[in-house]
Chain A
Amino acid sequence: MLSTVLTLAGKDWRLFWCDRRAATLAFVVPIMLASVFGYIFDRPTRDRGEVRLHLLVVAEGDSPTIRKLIDDLATNPNLQIEPIPAESLNPRLLDRRPGVAVVIPADFGTAVKPRIAVRHHPLCSLEARWAEGVIAEAVAKGVAKERWGDLAESVLRDPPFLLSVSALEEPHAKFNSYSHSFSGMTLQYLLFWGMESGLLLLRERRRGVWLRLRAAPMPLAAVLLGRALATAAIAILQLLTTFAFGYAVFDVTFCGSPFGFALAVIGVASLAASVGLLVAALGGREAPARSVSILAILGLAMLGGLWLPSFLLPDWLRDVSLALPTTWAMRLLDSATWQGRDLADQLPSFVAVMGFTALFLSVAFWRLSATERAARRGQG
């Protein structure tokens, strides 16, 4: 049985390399996707001086008080202001370049209670709050200096408290956006590879090769195990290649133990293999099976936090995503790479991923066995 399984896996391995161009793309595409996603979402986490709110400033008047306020805003280390004329405001905000602006009225400094307006793009309410706080601080400081002079100056220069801001880091954790994108995009691509592998089985049926395999002296389980083994082996190769590139070029780190990383690789590759068999088991004809699978994988990728970190999702969706294999697979990869968790911390994610793998394999075996029995009754 073992030699038969290895023969079948060897055949699938050969089939994968037969189309050199497709095989090359299978390694290049996840690297490209991960690199692009990593670049787009690259955010510094250590030097908070670089994180500044880009703020448009529209001054409806030109009084000394208004100029003073604008100067105060310009020197604020949390802001990067850009004075613009009033007519440019709406187009810039709608285009979200940037998403928030402050409009200083002409009567600022003369009216009893002038109305300073903070306007923002519908998706930038958080930035608007941030701008509101910073502007209130700047105006309050100005008023305090005006009313209490040197006393206010000294209090503001040396406030009676200390405030420190820092990103949460575990002792071994070393996060950069590429760490996430290489895990997420590789995982997504492995699911697509699993799907392709499953579709190959459907293609074998269409071409009649399946009939020849069924006539050969071996059980159905050998055929399925051979397919799963080849899919997992190629998935492992893809994982190692992609992460090696990420490590060499984008400083993607492996802060945990090598054994923990090996565990993650095995878990994720097994998941990809089981997804392949599931596609073969549930898919009828190749074209519709491909369409449905792509939709399902994209959904799993999005909800599982493969595109963007899951902490960006709403709380209820994060709770729901715990029922998805991709969430746990992503946690497993994160814990083995930038989070640098120890083996005990990785185990729950590993167990969950292997649980999903076992579930998918069981469903696939059950369904394919039923299909085989139907075919043997001439209903296939």
Chain B
Amino acid sequence: MPRTVALELRDIRAVYGRVTVLHGVTLAVHRGEILGLLGPNGSGKSTTLGIAAGVIDPVAGSVSIDGIDRTRDPHRFAIRVGFVPQDSAIYEELTAVQNLEFFGRLYGLRGYDLDSRIAKALARSRLTDRSHEPAGTFSGGLRRRLGIAIALLPDPPVLLLDEPTAALDAASRDDLFADLHRLREEGHAVMLTTHHAEEAEQVCDRIAMLETGRLVAEGPPSELMRPQSSGRCVLFGHLDGSLPKFLERRIRRRLDADIGFEVTGHRVRLSAWTADELGRALALVLAEGAHLDRYRSVSGRLEPTAKAA
């Protein structure tokens, strides 16, 4: 059965002043899927999430949820997104119930419907016992759970979390991951940002790697982590412009048979058994006239980065 796309970002471009922070990012998150946006600080993760949440406007491109375009129908779009900013974003003076009531009403919930949803949200977040305590007395983990409960109160198909594990201890982080897996089982599409590869590997079904505003790799963690299991070295690159088919065929002919060379849109994936072979393959690709403006080499883990000359 084909999976349904819940959130779709197409060719998103964002500019802060004179700096382009996103260069045509295209992404889709399916129902029942957790997508992790992975990348170092300044790579454009939070901007991508902010655009998906409707709090940042792109200069080009489109965002839609269940086919509802953000620009054409912002109200219907907004009620389909649950957004949890980085610092939980709750009123610390109000109790958990008061926080849920307030945000629930903003999303048009009233009366019995609101009360029953609050009761369910509290139970699901394991906050029932502390529901009448000010949120300011909660630990970081409880605050995060309350923040997610607020976002999920209107039952949106898409949940967006900005650095959800920031300032959480290991136990709270494991709790959070268990909650996210449950949300996935319930059919929510979840997109989160992180700069920890292990976390992304642990919780995400798919990872999108961002580097200076460009999507340089995308796929399941098992695929992106393939170098570790297969022992091969991998390089993800971003083409500055599209690669003509004839050029792609010529490069493929000239590369050794055991060198992997895959081109998807502006993205390139090179793999080899050794770092030397990978370096020679990269040199050949560049010599043939393919312009890579950024690339990232992967050797078992996703952290190491390098800049194209």
Contacts and interface: CB of A to CB of B under 8 A. Distances in A.
Interface of A: 3-4, 7-8, 10-11, 14-15, 18-19, 207-209, 211-218, 375-379
Contacts of A10: 102
A14 B95 CA distance: 11
Interface residues of B, number: 37
21 contacts: A4-B105, A7-B106, A8-B106, A18-B93, A207-B92, A209-B89, A212-B150, A214-B55, A215-B81, A217-B78, A217-B106, A217-B108, A376-B56, A377-B15, A377-B56, A377-B57, A378-B14, A378-B21, A378-B47, A378-B56, A379-B16
B94 A216 contact: no
A212 B83 contact: yes
B88 interface: yes
A18 B150 contact: no
A218 B57 contact: no
B107 A217 contact: yes
B106 A378 contact: no
A267 B53 CA distance: 39
A18 B133 CA distance: 11
A208 B78 contact: no
Contact of A19 (B16, B53, B93, B105): B93
Given A7-B102, A14-B94, A214-B54, 18 more contacts: A7-B105, A15-B91, A18-B134, A208-B87, A211-B53, A212-B89, A212-B103, A215-B53, A215-B54, A215-B55, A216-B106, A216-B107, A376-B55, A377-B16, A377-B57, A378-B50, A379-B16, A379-B17
B23 to A, nearest CB: 14
A375 B93 contact: no
A359 to B, nearest CB: 30
Contact of B106 (A15, A211, A218, A375): A218
Contacts of A3: 105
A95 B269 CA distance: 89
Nearest to A217: B78
A304 B134 CA distance: 41
B295 to A, nearest CB: 26
Contacts of B21: 378
A274 B105 CA distance: 25
B10 interface: no
What 3 A-B pairs come out closest when comparing CB atoms? A217-B78, A208-B89, A18-B93
A175 B240 CA distance: 81
Contacts of A216: 78, 103, 106-107
Interface string B203-238: 000000000000000000000000000000000000
B89 A207 contact: yes
Given A378-B21, A378-B50, A207 B87 contact: yes
Contacts of B108: 217
A14 B57 CA distance: 32
B124 interface: no
Interface in B20-62: 21, 47, 50, 53-57
Contacts of A11: 91, 94, 102
B191 interface: no
B172 interface: no
Contacts of B15: 377-378
Contacts of B134: 18
B78 A215 contact: yes
A215 B159 CA distance: 12
A150 B82 CA distance: 102
Contacts of A376: 55-57
B86 interface: yes
A375 B54 CA distance: 11
In this complex, which of B14, B56, B106, B134 has the most chain A Cβ atoms within 10 angstroms of its Cβ?
Answer: B106
Nearest to B86: A208
Contacts of B90: 209
Contact of B91 (A209, A211, A377): A209
Nearest to B87: A208
Interface string B91-118: 1111000100011011110000000000
B150 A15 contact: no
B93 A211 contact: no
B275 interface: no
Contacts of B81: 215
B75 A211 contact: no
In this complex, which of B57, B91, B134 has the most chain A Cβ atoms within 10 angstroms of its Cβ?
Answer: B91
B79 interface: yes
Contacts of B94: 11, 14-15, 18
Contacts of B141: none
A1 to B, nearest CB: 11
B280 to A, nearest CB: 40
A8 B106 CA distance: 8
Nearest to A18: B93
A207 to B, nearest CB: 6
B85 interface: yes
A212 B160 CA distance: 11
B106 A4 contact: yes
B50 to A, nearest CB: 7
A379 B14 CA distance: 11
Contact of A217 (B56, B75, B85): B75
Contacts of A375: 55-56
A18 B132 CA distance: 12
Contacts of B103: 212, 216
Contact of A215 (B47, B75, B83, B102): B83
A90 to B, nearest CB: 58
Contacts of A15: 91, 93-94
Given A208-B87, A215-B53, A217-B107, A14 B16 contact: no
A211 B14 CA distance: 18
Nearest to B95: A18
Contacts of A8: 106
Contacts of B86: 208
